């Protein structure tokens, strides 16, 4: 099949037709971006504050939270002088955005 549109339609139709069927034996599920979802609980008040801050920074709340988590994780790893300078610079930029 040389028509890309028809090929996509065929694959989509097959996916729809088999959506409720179990995976074939030996099939392995993969996540292309290799990220996973992590759930946590926070108070409604904290979530509202995060949403307000995210709106002010024009970023999705999940991205803001992910940034905080990764920043904290990176702070716990062994850092080089260069990585410490880069982290501090990013923190300073974030503070500038907050007070602007």
Residue 9 lies in a domain: no
Residue 89 lies in a domain: yes
Residue 73 lies in a domain: yes
Residue 1 lies in a domain: no
Domain count, the chain: 1
Residue 50 lies in a domain: yes
Question: Tokens 């716990």 appear where?
Answer: 76
At residue 1, the pLDDT reads 53
At residue 5, the pLDDT reads 81
Mean pLDDT, each 10-residue run in order, the chain (100 residues): 77 84 79 80 94 91 91 78 86 87
Residue 4 lies in a domain: no
Structural domain span for residue 60: 44-100
At residue 31, the pLDDT reads 66
Distance CA 56, CA 49 (A): 11
Quick one: tokens of 97? 């955005």
Residue 11 lies in a domain: no
């Amino acid at each position: 099949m040389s028509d890309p549109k028809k090929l996509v339609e065929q694959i989509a139709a097959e996916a729809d037709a088999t959506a409720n069927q179990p995976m074939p034996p030996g099939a392995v599920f993969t996540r292309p971006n290799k990220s996973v979802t992590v759930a946590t609980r926070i108070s409604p008040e904290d979530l509202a504050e995060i949403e307000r801050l995210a709106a002010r920074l024009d970023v999705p709340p999940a991205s803001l939270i992910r940034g905080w988590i990764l920043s904290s994780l990176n702070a716990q790893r062994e850092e080089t002088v260069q990585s410490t300078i880069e982290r501090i610079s990013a923190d300073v930029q974030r503070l500038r955005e907050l007070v602007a």
